[in-house]
């Protein structure tokens, strides 16, 4: 939707009609073509919408807005027989209100423009034939054909073909991703080369794309603290303004002066200063693959003083591999140890379990089903394998289980997982997880942006934690942690007065994400649990998105301050001063009143387009 399409859309038809009616009537009255009653009727028609909004705000929300100010100003102009001044003032204020409403709608429309849309129809393969059907008529399991240049209409898996897919509408990453058989694809993304047969797994409101749109739209309605603050300021100002205007009239008896003052003392722009920025910033972040769930979190991120990172899957890539296995009990060989480890880990959801299972598959080792499987949080797992009691976990787990430990070689860059069989240490698996690309630069960037304290949390051993923290430039780390320990550390930091952001995977770290002032989940594309757990969701596993989110939030917060100080404060102070000095009257005041509305709109909407560094 273009600028002109927004401002001249059908939904604003009556606003335009009211402006034209009052404007034409004022002109005709000025040249003595129409009598006073006709002018008053036109003013009543124009004033009706303002009175309706004023009454609704006052009765239902107990809020006094700019509509009441303007209504009083127009009534005073009529009672004071300043008919033409009142009509011109009303026309200009109607224009200002129209600009404010259209500006908000334009900002909202920009969200859909930036993120895009999904097709309404799809080509489905059935019985060797292809037919076009409505998206709503698709069923799970249907095979959808998508060709080069087309948008993918559903979430699903590739069953045939190959192609390059631009996932920018979801991840913000414009570099095409190669998709082959078995790859996951998402609605709203675009096939640039090739063609794909896609088995539908989700459609409509259940797709990742639809959830993104829903989150962004819900975020628009979430007030930031500064927005609530400006609303409070407006409510405090209102009685002060009426007393001030009353005192001025008592001493001057000048109706025109009172009308002009009412125009400049209206708190209208305070209500515009924040919401437009919030909408624009949330839309901008969404376009870059960053979902911010509301203005509150946008503002909180700008104020964060401490950021806490989970290690595995956040600072590291989350794809650990087995480097080597140390045999402690010579009654077992490496294959025996892998067989036990894989069997006990096959029901585990821990990231390290995948490394064990992948290693077993690589060696083509078969393994059985565990019995009496138990997860010990922050320690490891236990099960009965072929009648033997098997424990698999960290060193603390072995010590707490009274397993006799023997001297072993150490590798400080690897995570050691201990395997005991029938309460006797059998072997040690050394697993490593590569540090995520750009981690060190991201940490340095966050410090440069004003983050005073950066902490790394991990359930890993202190030696491995120290190695990773040194590699990325973090000096404060905590190791051997249980999930509940992470919550305690976040609370401890908050107790010192810190504003804490927690960065994790959104699933295993959900409790700590909720406890923090801001919870940030990484790599949440396709993961509904992660989307729900965090306040800010990064759709890609890219650490630079964290710094990017903070940059956008700080720029948005700065823009809000600019709107309040320049767009509202400076213009209104100058205006009130000029009125009191009798340099301008009601008509000029109403004309100047357009200026802050326009400034606030332009300053806010620029967040959608400008480069933010």
Active site residues: 310
Among 472, 485, 519, residue whose Cα is nearest residue 499? 519
Element (H, E) at 396: helix 395-400
Residues paired with residue 321 on neighbouring β-strands, in sequence order: 432
Among 468, 413, 404, 403, residue whose Cα is nearest residue 439? 468
* Radius of gyration of the chain, Cα coordinates, nearest whole angstrom: 32
DSSP for residue 459: S
The contacts found for 136-139 with CB under 8 angstroms, 24 or more apart, are 136/204, 138/200, 138/203, 139/200
What does the alpha-carbon distance between residue 476 and residue 481 come to, in Å, rounded to a whole number?
A: 14
SS3 124: strand
Q: What six digits make up the tokens of 113?
A: 């423009």
Q: 490-528 burial, b if ≥16 CB within 10 A, otherwise e? A: beebeeeebbbbbbbbbebbbbbbebbbbbbbbbbbbbe
Residues 6+ apart with CB under 8 A from 314: 436, 503, 504, 505, 522, 543
Q: In what order do the strands lie in the sheet with 371-376?
A: 321-327, 424-432, 415-421, 388-393, 380-385, 371-376
219 and 295 Cβ atoms separated by less than 8 Å = yes
CA 174 to chain centre: 19
């Amino acid at each position: 939707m273009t600028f002109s399409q927004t401002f001249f859309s059908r939904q604003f038809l009556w606003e335009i009609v009211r402006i034209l009616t009052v404007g034409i009537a004022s002109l005709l009255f000025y040249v003595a073509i129409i009598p006073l009653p006709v002018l008053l009727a036109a003013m009543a028609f124009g004033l009706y919408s303002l009175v309706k909004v004023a009454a609704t705000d006052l009765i239902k929300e107990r809020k006094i807005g700019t509509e009441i100010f303007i209504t009083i100003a127009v009534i005073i102009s009529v009672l004071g027989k300043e008919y033409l001044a009142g009509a011109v003032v009303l026309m200009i204020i109607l224009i200002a209100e129209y600009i404010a409403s259209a500006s908000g709608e334009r900002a909202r429309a920009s969200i859909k423009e930036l993120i895009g849309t999904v097709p309404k129809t799809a080509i489905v393969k059935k019985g060797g034939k292809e037919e076009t059907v409505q998206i709503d008529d698709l069923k799970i399991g249907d095979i959808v054909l998508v060709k080069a240049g087309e948008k993918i209409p559903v979430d699903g898996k590739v069953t045939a073909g190959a192609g390059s897919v631009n996932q920018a509408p979801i991840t913000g990453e414009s570099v095409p991703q190669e998709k082959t058989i078995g790859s996951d694809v998402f609605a709203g993304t675009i096939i640039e080369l090739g063609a794909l047969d896609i088995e539908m797994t989700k459609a409509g409101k259940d797709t990742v794309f639809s959830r993104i749109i829903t989150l962004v739209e819900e975020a628009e309605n979430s007030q930031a603290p500064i927005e609530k603050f400006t609303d409070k300021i407006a409510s405090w100002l209102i009685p002060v303004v009426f007393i001030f205007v009353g005192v001025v009239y008592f001493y001057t008896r000048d109706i025109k002066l009172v009308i002009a003052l009412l125009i400049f003392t209206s708190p209208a722009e305070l209500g515009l200063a924040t919401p437009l920025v919030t909408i624009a910033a949330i839309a901008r972040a969404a376009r870059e693959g960053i979902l911010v769930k509301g203005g509150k979190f946008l503002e909180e991120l700008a104020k964060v003083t401490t950021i806490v990172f989970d290690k595995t899957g956040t600072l590291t890539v989350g794809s650990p591999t087995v480097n080597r296995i140390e045999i402690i009990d010579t009654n077992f060989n490496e294959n025996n140890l892998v067989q036990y480890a894989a069997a006990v880990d096959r029901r585990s959801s821990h990231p390290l379990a995948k490394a064990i299972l992948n290693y077993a598959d690589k060696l083509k080792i078969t393994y059985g089903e565990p019995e009496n499987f138990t997860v010990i949080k922050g320690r490891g797992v236990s099960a009965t394998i072929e009648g033997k009691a098997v424990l698999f976990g960290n060193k603390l787990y072995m010590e707490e289980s009274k397993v006799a430990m023997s001297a072993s070689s150490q590798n400080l860059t690897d995570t050691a997982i201990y395997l005991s069989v029938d309460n006797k240490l059998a072997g040690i698996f050394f697993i490593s997880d590569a540090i995520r690309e750009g981690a060190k630069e991201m940490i340095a960037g966050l410090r440069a942006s004003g983050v005073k304290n950066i902490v790394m949390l991990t359930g890993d051993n202190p030696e491995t934690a120290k190695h990773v923290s040194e590699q990325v430039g973090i000096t404060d780390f905590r190791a051997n942690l249980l999930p509940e320990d992470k919550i305690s550390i976040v609370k401890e930091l908050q107790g010192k007065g810190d504003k804490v952001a927690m960065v994790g995977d959104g699933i295993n770290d959900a409790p700590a994400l909720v406890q923090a002032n801001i919870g940030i989940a990484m790599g949440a594309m396709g993961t509904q649990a992660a989307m729900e757990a965090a306040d800010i969701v990064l759709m890609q596993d890219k650490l630079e998105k964290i710094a990017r989110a903070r940059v956008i939030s700080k720029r948005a917060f700065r823009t809000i301050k600019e709107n309040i100080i320049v767009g509202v404060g400076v213009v209104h102070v100058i205006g009130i001063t000029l009125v009191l000095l009798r340099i301008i009257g009601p008509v000029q005041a109403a004309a100047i009143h357009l200026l802050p509305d326009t400034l606030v709109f332009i300053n806010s909407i620029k967040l959608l387009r400008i480069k933010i560094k």
